[in-house]
Structures are given as C-alpha cells and as structure tokens.
Amino acid sequence: MIGWEKIQASGGKQLTNAIEIRGLNKSFGPKLAVQNLDLTVPQGALYGFIGPNGAGKSTTIRMIMSIIFPDSGELSVLGKASAVESKDRIGYLPEERGVYRKMKVGAFLKYMARLKGLDAAEAERRTKEWLVRVGLADTYRKKCEELSKGMQQKVQFIAAVINEPELLILDEVFSGLDPENRRLMRDLIREQNDAGRTIIFSTHAMNEAEQLCDSIFMIRGGVKVLDMPMKQLWSTYDPKTVVVEPTNPADIDLAWETLPGVREAVRSEQFVDLRLGENANVATLMQGATAMAGVRKVELKRPSLEDIFIELVGGDSESVRKELRASAKPVQEVARG
Amino acid sequence: MGKVFTVAVKEFLATVATKGFIFGMLFPPFIMTMMIVLMPLLMNKKAPTVYGHIAIIDQSGLVAPRIKDAFSAEKIKARKEKKIRQTMEEGTKAIGMDEKSAAKIKEQADASPMAAASSLIPETSLSVVVLPPDTPVDEARKEILKATGREQAGDGGSARLALLVIPENTLRTKELNSEGKPDFKPYQLLTAPRLDVEVQGDIRNETARAIVDSRLADAGEDPVKIRGLTEWPKADEKAVTKEGDRSSNEVAKLMIPGAFMFLLWISTFSAGQYLLTSTIEEKSSRVMEVVLSAVSPMQLMLGKILGKGAVGLLILGLYSSVGVTAMIFFAYAHLLAWQNLVYLFVFFFIAYMIIACLMASIGSAVNDINEAQSLMGPVMMILIIPMMLWMPILRNPNSMFAQVCSFVPMINPFVMVLRISGSEPIPAWQIPVSILVGLATVAFLCYAAAKIFRIGVLMYGKPPNLATLIKWVRMA
C-alpha cells in the first residue's frame, strides 16, 4: 500500500495537512466500525472516500466532524484537535440530511450562515447570490417542503459552502440527483476545489469518484484498503486487459488465447477481453491481435475503481460486486454508517 | 454563546410566528382582556326606562295602598340602591375579602364596574292605578294587550304593564291546609309579555310583601316589628390561626393558588410540548446533522431549551398579566401577594427546565411522535401528580404530606406554588430549600439530557427504551 507520505517524499509539493488521523478506532457495541485508521489529507486535495455502505465512511467523517468521538487514536482537523474548534471553517453535507420543512428557503440558508458565524447582512447577501448560482433564485420565499428532492439537495449544498469553508466534507453528495444535477454538482465541487478548498467526498458510486477526485481513500469493514493519489493509482494498478472488437463478429470465436501473454480470453457478443498474464508485452500483443483478424478496435482497458477494489479485497469477486451494488440503498442506522 | 442565542431566537420565532400559536395561545388572553375592558362599557349602557302603570283589583281593600306606596318614586330608588349594595357585598364576601378591603371597595364602588353591573336593573317610572274591586278581570286585562313595551315618558304612564288581582281569601281565610296553617289562596299577576324581568320580579316581591304586611296588620300585629324580629341573622365567620383570626374565605383559598398552579402548568407543559415536537421534527426531517455541522449538540440543545423557554415565559407572562390586570381592574389586587408572582417565575424556571430536559431527551431519542408516546409516561406523571395533589394540599398547606411533597424532586415546583399562594403562611425556610432541591434536580437532568441528546440525535432505527436511555447517560 502506498500512501501520500511517499508521494510527498518523492517530489510532491510539501503542504500543511487539512486532516491527520493516526490509529483511529471506533466501535458500536460489539461491532468495530473503524479499526486502526491512518489518514492524511493535504490542504487543497480533492479526496474521495469510497467503499460499500457500512464500510465506515460516514463514521470516519462523523469523527472528523466531532459529531461522534473515537474510542482511541489521534485526530487533527485544520490544525486543531477537534472540529468543534474549527467548525466555522468547515463545510459539511451529511449523508443524513434534510431541511426544516416549514422554514422558507432563504430563512433556512440565512440561519445556517448565522450559525456558521456570518453576520446577518453577509448571510443574506451570500444566500441570494448562491440561490441565483444554482438556479433557485425564485425559491427564496418558498417553504423548503415545496422544493423537489434535487432542489433540496442544492439548498443543502449551499448550506455547506455558504461560509466559504477551508475544508468541505460531502457525504454521499450525489445520491438522489438526476444526471443533469450530478453534472452541476461535479462542476460546483471542482469550482470549490479550484478556489483552494480541501474537499473530501464520500460515495459508494465509484465512477463518480473516478471522474472527480485526485486522491482515493478506500475502506471496507472499517479497515483502510487503499489510500493514494489517482495518478499513482493508475500507474500502480497496471491495465491487465486488452479489449478487441473484430470487424466480423464471427471472428470472436478465433483462438485468441494463443496470442503470447494472454492468460484468458473472455468473449461477449461484440468484444473479446484478453486478460494478460504476468510479464505480457502489450505492444507485441496488440500487433498480434491486429494480425489475427480485421479489428475495429484494440484498446488497453483501464481498470475501474471497482475492479481495483475487488482486486484489493480479494475473495469472491461476484459477492464483492453485489456488496457494492447493494450500497445503492442508504442504510437507516446512521451511527453505523 | 452567540450560536446558542441564534438557535434560541430561531426556535422562539418558529413557534411564536405561526398561525397555530397566535390563535391558540395569544387569542384567548386577548379575548379575555377585551371582555374585561368592554364588558363594563357595554353594561354602562343602561337598560331602557320602563314607563307605564300597574292596575290593581283589590278585593280585600287592604293591600292596594301598601303597593301604591311601594311603587312611589323614592321607594323604587331606595330599593335599587339597596340591591346594588347587596350585590357588592355578596361579591366581596364570595371571594373572601376582609373588612378593611371591603370598606375600600365601597369607596371605589361608584367608579367600579361592579356598580355598572347593577345598572342592569332598569330605571322604572311606574304608577299604580287602583281599579274598583268589582271591575271585571276580563275587561281590565284587555288593556294589557295595548301595551307595546316601548312606551315613552310622554305617554303619561297610560300603558298597562301589569294587572294584580288580589282576592279576599289571599288575606283572610278560615280554612286550614294539611299542615294546619291558614290555607291562603294565590293572587293573580297578569303582565305584558315584554315587561322587563327585573321589573316583574320587583312587582312580585313588593306585592307579596304588601300582602304579608296586610295580613299581619289585619291580625293586629305591627308589620315593622314582626319583620324586624324575623330578620335572618348574619354569621361573622373567622378562621382561628396562630397568627390571629382571619375571615375564612373558601373561594380565595382555592382560586388564587389554583390559578397560580394552572399558569405554571400550562406554560411549562406547552413549552415542553413545543420543544418535543421541534426536536422530533429535526430528527425526522434529517436536518439535525446539517445543523450539527455548525453547532455542537450541547449548543443546539441549550438554544432549543432557551428558545422554547422564552415561549413558555411569554405564555406565562401573558396569562398572568391578564389575570393581574383583571384583578386590578376589579379592585381585587390586594388579594395578591406580589412576592408570590416572583416565586411563580422562579418555580417556572425550575419546572420548565425539568420538563424541557425530559422532552429534549425524549425528542432526541425517537424518530417520530408515535415513538415518543411510550417514553412520555414519566413526564405525564410529573404533570398529572400536581393536579391530583391540588385539593389535599390546598385544604391543608402545612400538612406533613404537603411538606414532604415540597421536597420531592420534579413535582416540588408545582407543590410549592400551591402552598405559597395559599392562605396559610408556610415555614420560611422551606421556600429556599425547595428551590435548592429544584435547582439540584435541574442540574442533574441537564447533565443526563446533554448525554442522551448527544447520542440520541444521530440514532435512527429502533427507538430506545428507558433502559437504553439510562445506559446512554452512564456512557462517558
């Protein structure tokens, strides 16, 4: 496992860390929610927490936010021992989120801004500005309950960023959003990161993390399985599959296994996935493939985060995939998140 | 502290600035105040003067002169004044006023709305027309039909408002009834349908008096003497206490402490209820954790308790000021010991904090209002027990039972409010000691509530039972 420390040592820019966690443990009754967790999030990072539900993502985030407290271990947030001391510098969008149903949207956002230490005039100014930004300007005087779920999500996002926090923590930020709003949310997150804010977001949808974050933190069963920058991830987890699309579909049945370095050929209707063995030469293999039949496409397949996750946790890959899929439905017991 | 205040202001406004609160809580005292102010104004509009005459067919020949005398202008005026005085005296006696204050009341009588109340008795300008004893009743009663009930002064009293027919045997009879008393026959009173009820009653009373006086005179007795002798004696009641005699006044004994406790009860219970529902709403709408990203659970709980406490204080202040205003307006302010109002607010603080800590704990632990019901038992006990203790404690505010209850945590604020506002003074040391017991209870409950709240607000799923809550308190 390669962590940030190595990257920083090997020429990465030396930054102050937004979050430092050492040997963190938390259990709920007999269940170990987080075990011996180490994590360092440098300032300005866009960090993705991924893992299936019940993995310990929300528990870790809650401990960072000082909403629950670890049984043991050290934790520092923005240089302080507890988030309580730096709450006004943090923006947090929890997994279990809602709005005051009877409160007007404007009043709710102003209230949240006031709670985060802004004065009344500034709270009002930013509230109006943000509602225009996300296309909800006409909802200022509407009751929160009149908004659709997607609109409420945006309002909650505003509540998290209204204080222009140094650290922004977004738990399951994409759940419940339609594709259009997902894109908007991705843009907003990037924009916040470009403004120099450290961002941590958790998701069980690994493709979202793949598209967005510059570092990945993977957790399962309360144990860290991966923690590294994306660039390093792609170089560490070499692509091990070459996808071939023959021009003639009948060619799918050719003896692709005989090509040098191929461990296994998995056929689907249109494609053949050539799983490579150790020490396979990709260039030679690709030449061999084009020589074997007329092909529309020969491509070195990038492993998905999901593939990496499965590889890392090992075991029965189908059951792990199922575990990931099941995460689509949020769990009820928050404290076990 | 700034955040706590922000939460408190939001919580206060979230409850007060709603239609439900304005109609449910502010409207009743508003209506009451309006009634207190408007009632005397409405009453001061005097009932219209009644003009007309009473016709008498007096077959005995003895009663008519007495009735004629009774309805002379001076006698009518005297009767009215006497009636006003009586009403006032009964009023002061009913609420148990001592003589000194009663005298004060009499001074204020003219200015007091009580006098205005008596103006409901209409002015009357009645003449009495004595018809010949042999006038046919059927002829005489026809005149009554001509009366409209809206006669004016200029009509000269021509309207016949009533006809009295007094037969000979109403006064004299040789027959005896089953009890062995003279079996007098009734007289007839025929009235115009619109005749004022008060006037009707007056005619009835004065006729009866005139008939009885006539009977006495006829029997050779002096009616004035006999009436004097048969005057109903009045009792001068005093309660004997160590501090001296005091007029015993049952109503005041019950009314003022009852009102004090009711005020305390309604304000703490309403505020507690608002706190419970708002906490549950924050949980069920999942806004809790969003808020907790900006404030600590302790700040949130404190802010909520303060905000809803301000709502309770508003209710208490509003209702008690309506009560005090009414008492001042009706000149009963002397019945109120002002230091008791101060104690009322001190015990409100204690009682509210107790209820609030319990409500905040319950609200934070459950997912919806239905789940809260099962945990509400202990809270309901605290609220119901004082209601059950009301009568026994009021009857005897210094009984051993009442004294013990004054130091039982959770119910003592209610018990003390009953005892201090009651008629018997209680040992002075008991008030501060009871307050200390209350404050200690509050301190403990705040500690427990803070722990439960911190854990409960983020707990979804199966609602905890009482044992789980206790476990949370014990957790570090």
* pLDDT attached to residue A317: 61
Interface probe, candidates A64, A65, A115, chain B, greatest B C-beta count within 10 A: A115
**B contacts of A98 (beta carbons < 8 Å):** 285-288, 290
Comparing CA positions, the residue from B119, B118, B124, B121 lying closest to residue B50 is B124
B425 in any annotated domain: yes
Extract the runs of DSSP E, i.e. beta strands, from B15-150: 50-58, 124-131
What is the Cα–Cα distance from A247 to A242, expressed in whole angstroms?
16
Of B285, B296, B461, the CB nearest to A98: B285
In a shared domain, residues B195 and B315 = no
In a shared domain, residues A73 and A192 = yes
Interface probe, candidates B7, B293, B299, B304, chain A, greatest A C-beta count within 10 A: B293
**B contacts of A92 (beta carbons < 8 Å):** 290, 293
In a shared domain, residues A57 and A152 = yes
CB contact under 8 A, B461 and A111: no
In a shared domain, residues B348 and B199 = no
CB A202 within 8 A of CB A48: yes
CB B293 within 8 A of CB A62: no
| B positions 273-332 inside 8 Å of A (CB) | 281-282, 285-297
Radius of gyration over every alpha carbon of chain B, rounded to an integer in angstroms: 33
* pLDDT attached to residue B165: 92
Interface probe, candidates B290, B291, B471, chain A, greatest A C-beta count within 10 A: B290
CATH at residue A28: 3.40.50.300
**A contacts of B292 (beta carbons < 8 Å):** 65, 67, 94
Kindly report the nearest CA distance between residue A325 and chain B, in angstroms. Answer: 22
Per-10-residue mean pLDDT of chain A, 337 residues long, equals 42 64 88 89 90 84 85 89 83 87 92 92 94 91 90 90 92 84 88 91 82 87 86 76 85 83 83 81 83 84 76 66 56 36
A67 in any annotated domain: yes
Give the bridge partners for A92, in sequence order.
A169
Of B7, B290, B292, the CB nearest to A159: B290
B32 in any annotated domain: no
A180 in any annotated domain: yes
In a shared domain, residues B183 and B269 = no
Residue A299: enclosing H or E segment and its boundaries?
A: strand A295-301
Comparing CA positions, the residue from A31, A4, A20, A147 lying closest to residue A74 is A20
CB B188 within 8 A of CB B44: no
- Residue B104's domain comprises 48-224
Of B281, B289, B297, the CB nearest to A97: B289
In a shared domain, residues B189 and B257 = no
* pLDDT attached to residue A337: 33
Angle at A290 between CA A285 and CA A293, to 5 degrees: 125
B167 in any annotated domain: yes
| A positions 92-111 inside 8 Å of B (CB) | 92-103, 111
Strand A72-77 versus strand A17-28 pairing type: antiparallel
**A contacts of B289 (beta carbons < 8 Å):** 67, 94-97, 334
* pLDDT attached to residue B308: 95
The conformational region for residue B149 under phi > 0 = left, psi -120 to 50 = alpha, else beta, is left
Comparing CA positions, the residue from A155, A176, A63 lying closest to residue A105 is A155
Task: Write phi, then psi, for A35 (nearest 5 degrees).
Answer: -125, 125
* B9 close contact with A: CB closer than 8 A: no
* A67 close contact with B: CB closer than 8 A: yes
B17 in any annotated domain: no
**B contacts of A103 (beta carbons < 8 Å):** 14
**B contacts of A90 (beta carbons < 8 Å):** 293
Q: Which residue has the tokens 């309002």?
A: A155
* pLDDT attached to residue A10: 39
A266 in any annotated domain: yes
CB B374 within 8 A of CB B463: yes
Kindly report the nearest CA distance between residue A118 and chain B, in angstroms. Answer: 11
Of B286, B287, B461, the CB nearest to A333: B461
**A contacts of B10 (beta carbons < 8 Å):** 111
Residue at which a domain ends, from A179, A211, A235: A235
| CB-neighbour burial class of residue B251 (10 A; exposed 0-12, middle 13-18, buried 19+) | exposed
As a whole number of Å, the end-to-end CA separation of chain B is: 24
A329 in any annotated domain: no
CB contact under 8 A, B296 and A84: yes
Of A94, A102, A117, the CB nearest to B289: A94
A24 in any annotated domain: yes
* pLDDT attached to residue A1: 42
**B contacts of A65 (beta carbons < 8 Å):** 292-293
In a shared domain, residues A287 and A171 = no
In a shared domain, residues A42 and A16 = yes
What is the Cα–Cα distance from A298 to B267, expressed in whole angstroms?
78
Interface probe, candidates A28, A65, A67, A89, chain B, greatest B C-beta count within 10 A: A67
B198 in any annotated domain: yes
Which chain B residue has the Cα nearest residue A120? B6
Q: In whole angstroms, what separates CA B116 from the centre of its chain?
A: 19
In a shared domain, residues B200 and B283 = no
Angle at B364 between CA A172 and CA A203, to 5 degrees: 5
- Residues with Cβ < 8 Å from A161, sequence gap 6 or more? A91, A130, A168, A188, A192
Interface probe, candidates A62, A86, A100, A154, chain B, greatest B C-beta count within 10 A: A100
Q: Which residue has the tokens 């709502």?
A: B311
Q: How many other CB atoms are there within 10 angstroms of residue B196's CB atom?
A: 20
Helix, strand, coil content of chain B in percent (nearest 5): 65, 10, 25
Q: In whole angstroms, what separates CA A288 from the centre of its chain?
A: 38
CATH at residue A260: 3.30.70
CB contact under 8 A, B293 and A91: yes
CB contact under 8 A, B286 and A98: yes
Q: How many domains does chain B have?
A: 2
CB contact under 8 A, B289 and A103: no
A327 in any annotated domain: no
Angle at A331 between CA A330 and CA A335, to 5 degrees: 125
CB contact under 8 A, B458 and A67: yes
CB contact under 8 A, A100 and B292: no
B292 in any annotated domain: yes
CB contact under 8 A, A100 and B287: yes
In a shared domain, residues B102 and B202 = yes
Q: How many other CB atoms are there within 10 angstroms of residue B104's CB atom?
A: 15
Query: What separation in angstroms does the CA of A230 have from each of A2, A207, A306, B258, B394?
Result: 12, 13, 14, 73, 78
Task: Write phi, then psi, for B130 (nearest 5 degrees).
Answer: -95, 115
What is the Cα–Cα distance from A234 to B226, expressed in whole angstroms?
123
**A contacts of B7 (beta carbons < 8 Å):** 115
Q: In whole angstroms, what separates CA B383 from the centre of its chain?
A: 22
Kindly report the nearest CA distance between residue A90 and chain B, in angstroms. Answer: 8
CB contact under 8 A, B294 and A115: yes
CB B270 within 8 A of CB B316: no
B466 in any annotated domain: yes
* pLDDT attached to residue A324: 61
In a shared domain, residues B174 and B288 = no
- CB pairs < 8 Å spanning A and B: 83
A314 in any annotated domain: no
* pLDDT attached to residue B140: 86
Sign of CA dihedral B68, B72, B76, B79: negative
B13 in any annotated domain: no
- Tens place of pLDDT per residue across chain B (476 aa): 789 999 999 999 999 988 888 888 878 878 877 877 777 666 655 566 778 888 999 888 888 889 888 888 888 888 877 877 777 666 655 555 555 555 655 555 554 444 544 555 666 778 888 888 888 888 888 888 877 766 666 666 678 888 999 998 888 888 888 888 888 889 999 988 878 888 888 899 999 999 999 999 988 889 889 988 988 887 777 767 665 665 555 565 567 788 888 889 889 989 999 999 999 988 888 888 888 888 888 899 999 999 999 999 999 998 888 888 877 776 666 667 778 888 889 999 999 999 999 999 999 988 888 888 888 887 888 888 888 888 888 778 888 888 898 999 888 999 998 888 877 788 889 999 999 999 999 999 999 998 888 888 877 777 787 888 888 888 75
In a shared domain, residues B205 and B60 = yes
CB B203 within 8 A of CB B49: no
CB B167 within 8 A of CB B187: yes
The CA-based diameter of chain B, rounded to the nearest angstrom, is: 104
Of A87, A99, A332, the CB nearest to B294: A87
- Residue A231's domain comprises 4-99+147-235
Strand B160-166 versus strand B188-191 pairing type: antiparallel
What is the Cα–Cα distance from A312 to A226, expressed in whole angstroms?
8
Comparing CA positions, the residue from A229, A219, A198 lying closest to residue A59 is A219
What is the Cα–Cα distance from A322 to A93, expressed in whole angstroms?
27
Kindly report the nearest CA distance between residue B369 and chain A, in angstroms. Answer: 16
| CB-neighbour burial class of residue A305 (10 A; exposed 0-12, middle 13-18, buried 19+) | buried
In a shared domain, residues B97 and B182 = yes
In a shared domain, residues A290 and A251 = yes
What is the Cα–Cα distance from B19 to B25, expressed in whole angstroms?
10
In a shared domain, residues A210 and A243 = no
